[in-house]
Amino acid sequence: MQHIILDCDPGHDDAMAILLAVGNPDIDLIGVTTVGGNQSLDKVTYNARSVLEMAHAADIPVHAGCDRPLLRPLEVAASIHGESGLDGVALPEPTRPLDAGHAVNWIIDTIMNSEPGTITLVPTGPLTNIAIAARMEPRIVERVKEVVLMGGGVHVGNWSPVAEFNIKTDPEAARMVFREPWPLTMVGLDLTHQALCTPQVQSRIDAIGTELSAFASGLMDFFRASYRNDEDFVDPPVHDPCTIAYLIDPDVMTMRRCPLDVETADGPALGMTVADLRGSEPSAQDCHTQVALKLDFDRFWNMIIDAITRIG
């Protein structure tokens, strides 16, 4: 059983990550924390609570975190996710009040009060909350089991020619998180651009025939239109649930261990994740970071279909 904290900014693909985490028996989603990213903090926090409501998982706590990057103004992705952050579907009103306490404090308290090596951090938005948590309480770094994040890219960007949105919008936080010595897996665009919601996949979601499957399909309809209009994709890449899929079954993707760093200097390379792929692959003892490169497409979508079906 994987005990995870999902730090997110829902976001259509974040919503699918929540559904996969809730619906898979190998994942224990102990809490959701939110960060300003795809939309403003208040919007993405509402979205997280609403998606949990939709997934019959309103008992899972949600804590709101940082509303802007460490040093830079908030830059949202309304062109992809719409004005609400989850345009295209009717969102149910959350029944559980927003949990008190800042996300960073809750992350620290949860890790420090758990057995070492039992909590995995899964950030699928800008890395602001995670960076501040590691600075406020450095002891969490050695207590966390691992960090599995969606962000970056070895060979491709989307928010600039070389930088992915989550990393570029708070590159200083990303550099801090990448440089901490915890085991870190970067599930970036090289991998997630293979996780396409094709019409064949979406027809399988529709065939489940539940209110939740219709909700998920509605998310994909809007996401498809956004990616066709803004990113020149025929089918939308569903980035964020790839992190959860890796935790369920690491064999769903092919990894490459390599040193990683983040460019923070203003200029055309701002937010670039730099992967050192020279020479032979280092050992886990010599290198604490790895990147995901190749996805088992069918195995990935089978997980999501199964999770939506299980939730009912």
- Order of all β-strands in the sheet with 289-295: 62-64, 27-34, 2-8, 119-123, 146-150, 184-187, 289-295, 253-257
User: Within 10 A of 180 (CB to CB), how many other CB atoms are there?
Assistant: 18
**Which residue out of 12, 63, 81, 239 is catalytically annotated?**
239
Told to judge if 81 belongs to the known catalytic residues of this protein, a careful annotator would answer no
- What amino acid is encoded at 218 in this protein? G
User: Is there a contact between 166 and 210 (Cβ–Cβ < 8 Å)?
Assistant: no
User: Is there a contact between 294 and 182 (Cβ–Cβ < 8 Å)?
Assistant: no
- Sequence length of the chain is 312
Rounded Cα–Cα distance for residues 66 and 120 (Å)? 20
User: Is there a contact between 91 and 50 (Cβ–Cβ < 8 Å)?
Assistant: yes
User: Is there a contact between 10 and 51 (Cβ–Cβ < 8 Å)?
Assistant: yes
Four-CA torsion 253, 264, 275, 108, nearest 10 degrees: -50
> What does the DSSP assignment read for 8-24?
E---HHHHHHHHHHHH-
Helices (H), the chain: 12-23, 41-54, 78-81, 103-112, 128-136, 140-143, 165-169, 171-179, 189-192, 199-208, 211-226, 241-248, 297-311
Q: Which residues are catalytic?
A: 239
